[in-house]
Amino acid sequence: MKLSKTLFLVFLLAGLLTYYFWTGKSSQNAGAGPASVKLLSLAPGNFITALEIENEISKERMTLVREEGGWRLESPVNDPAENFLVEGMASALTMSQTARRFTVEDEQWKEFGFDEARFRIGIETKDLPQRRTLLLGGVSPVSRMVYARWEG
């Protein structure tokens, strides 16, 4: 795998882990506030089978698919992927919790950075092979968290 693709995966993993630990810390500090909800809740035995990560700024796209021997990078090249990095991203997605949930009118999504989402993460699971897309928007000005929402 090219160094630039490996670094891209490392930085994305670091971002997701930062999001996970920051929201975990924030929810612990919140005390008796509303219960946190997992960003991606999977039933026991269900797991992520494919990830498609698109950087909306650079227009780079990476597709990763789980096979019996581990993860495979299918796009932009077809090559074995670094299993440790991809499993870390998958774990960060399934362990991350939302800090706060709210409803927004369609025209207001722009305020949260979703008019030009930084990343689009397509996710397929064993039990739900239809791709769902998670959008990562802007950074919250008061809590240094990233706005995230499911497309649709």
Highest mean pLDDT among 22-36, 63-77, 102-116: 63-77
Q: Kindly state the helix (H) or strand (E) to which residue 149 belongs, with its residue range.
A: strand 146-150
Q: Using CA atoms of 103, 105, 108, 113 in order, give the dihedral in degrees to the nearest 10.
A: 50
What's residue 64's pLDDT?
A: 93
* Statement: residue 6 has pLDDT above 50: yes
Q: Which two tokens stand for residue 76?
A: 């932009």
Residue 129 pLDDT greater than 80, yes or no:
yes
Residue 125 sits at the vertex; the CA angle it makes with 147 and 70, to the nearest 5 degrees, is 105
Q: Which of 5-14, 35-44, 60-69, 99-108 has the lowest mean pLDDT?
A: 99-108
Provide mean pLDDT across the span 103-127. Answer: 74
Mean pLDDT of 79-88: 90
The token pair at 37 is: 């909800």
Q: One-letter amino acid identity for 84?
A: F
Q: Which long-range contacts (CB under 8 A, 24 or more apart) does 21-30 make?
A: 22/143, 22/144, 22/145, 23/96, 23/97, 23/98, 23/99, 23/145, 24/97, 26/99, 26/143, 26/145, 27/97, 27/99, 30/99
**Cα–Cα distance measured from residue 31 to residue 34, given in angstroms and rounded to the nearest whole number:** 9
- pLDDT value, residue 76: 87
